[in-house]
Structure 1
């Protein structure tokens, strides 16, 4: 089998929409990061472990102190999930 390297280039817009509506990512957040992604959130106790679910394009979907909730919400929205560290 002959294999050939394919050099595919995506525009920023194409990259931003890659996985939209299909993929979500879950990541742990520190309380000081919350206001940047969830400006409507109240002040949060810094000792809490926080988890956030985002759309593939970075749109915030859910903030919780229960990691399992992020997976339930992703399943409800029919998103395949990936975790970011």
Structure 2
């Protein structure tokens, strides 16, 4: 018996919201990227290592110079974290 593979089509918006409120990602940021994601952030020394926590849909949650802080904030908000490289 042959079975057809079911295909599901998601819009970009639907895809962007998968995991929203449940999953967050952590990534290292350069100071020149900060203003785009965190417009309220002050000027930052370009020699500082920065880490950002984002919601699954890309919503900025936290900017810090301490990577561990991103994990603590995610745990506080009951979010599962993944790292982007």
Query: Does TM, scored on the shorter chain, surpass 0.5?
Result: yes
- Closer, same or farther in 2 for the Cα pair 1:26/1:3, shift >3 Å? farther
What displacement does 1:5 show? 3.8
Q: What secondary structure is seen at the aligned counterpart in 2 of 1:54?
A: strand
Q: CA RMSD in A?
A: 1.4
Number of residues of Structure 1 aligned to a counterpart in Structure 2? 84
Who is 1:64 aligned against? 64
What displacement does 1:8 show? 2.1
Who is 2:75 aligned against? 75
Structure 2: gaps (5+ residues): none
1:51-81 deviation digits (Å, cap 9, x = unpaired): 0000000000000000000000000000000
Taking structure 2 as the reference length, the TM-score comes to 0.92
Structure 1: gaps (5+ residues): none
Taking structure 1 as the reference length, the TM-score comes to 0.92
Within 2, Cα distance between the matches of 1:9 and 1:44? 42
What displacement does 1:25 show? 0.2
Within 2, Cα distance between the matches of 1:75 and 1:83? 14
What displacement does 1:9 show? 1.7
